[in-house]
């Protein structure tokens, strides 16, 4: 009721049926006739209407995919491909979008469960503590870790870190002996890098 199809489509159907285009309004006024015709079309094309039962099945199908990708377009394509394979009528874009969102939510819950189920109670407590804000900065450790490192910190850390790693390789791989001056320099580099992270 109230649905108005494309005018060209109505004209084509009317021409093939040899009836006046204005008859569409009479046809659309009787809802039962339209459903009867829908049923006939489903049987003729061997299609099944998209119902809540199939919605749950396609969500279950997509949830496995959402553990590997979170791209909506890939989920939508997989959904349409699955529906066509099963002979189910493809629903509207808004329905496809809702199904993909529900699948993403279910997939994320599955991933989170997989990641956390193997953790011990102490490990979960330690991870939770990353969310606690520090009294001095009012910023949690997790927020601090996610912040981009400024160049004034990143460049010295990279340079000093490279020197320290090179000296460690010389000692443990090439079995070289370091002089006290070199050991002192390594210690100063490490202390300097640590100071760069303090405020």
pLDDT value of residue 166? 87
Between 40 and 101, the higher pLDDT residue? 101
Q: Encode pLDDT of 1-10 as tens digits.
A: 456 678 888 8
- Mean local confidence (pLDDT), 109-125: 84
- Mean local confidence (pLDDT), 59-73: 89
Burial class (CB in 10 A: 0-12, 13-18, 19+), 181: exposed
At a CB cut-off of 8 Å and minimum separation 6, what does 66 contact?
A: 75, 103, 104, 106, 107, 108, 110
Q: pTM score, two decimals?
A: 0.53
pLDDT value of residue 60? 92
pLDDT value of residue 75? 93
Nearest partner of 90 among 57, 56, 43, 55, judged by Cα? 55
Q: CA 79, CA 55: separation in Å to the nearest integer? A: 10
Taking CA atoms, 54 is separated from 11, 71, 94, in Å, by 34, 22, 16
Burial class (CB in 10 A: 0-12, 13-18, 19+), 60: exposed
- Mean local confidence (pLDDT), 140-164: 79
Domain boundaries, the chain: 7-45, 52-117, 151-196
Task: Label residue 30 by pLDDT band (50, 70, 90).
Answer: low
Most confident of 21-25, 29-33, 53-57: 53-57
- Mean local confidence (pLDDT), 125-136: 78
Q: CA 130, CA 139: separation in Å to the nearest integer? A: 10
pLDDT value of residue 25? 74
């Amino acid at each position: 009721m109230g649905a108005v199809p494309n005018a060209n489509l109505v004209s084509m159907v009317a021409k093939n049926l040899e009836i006046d285009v204005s008859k569409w309004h009479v046809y659309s006024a009787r809802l039962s006739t339209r459903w009867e015709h829908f049923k006939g079309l489903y049987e003729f094309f061997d299609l099944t209407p998209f119902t809540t039962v199939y919605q749950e099945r396609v969500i279950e199908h997509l949830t496995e995919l959402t553990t590997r990708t979170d791209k909506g377009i890939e989920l939508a394509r997989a959904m349409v491909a699955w529906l066509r394979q099963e002979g189910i009528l493809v629903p509207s874009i808004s329905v496809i979008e809702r199904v993909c969102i529900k699948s993403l939510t279910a997939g994320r819950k599955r991933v989170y469960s997989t990641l956390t189920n193997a953790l011990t109670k102490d490990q979960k407590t330690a991870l939770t503590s990353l969310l606690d804000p520090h009294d001095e900065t009012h910023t949690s450790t997790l927020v601090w870790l996610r912040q981009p490192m400024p160049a004034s910190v990143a460049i010295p850390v990279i340079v000093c870190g490279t020197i320290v790693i090179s000296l460690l390789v010389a000692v443990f791989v090439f079995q070289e002996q370091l002089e006290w001056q070199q050991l002192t320099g390594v210690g100063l580099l490490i202390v300097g890098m640590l100071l760069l992270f303090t405020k």
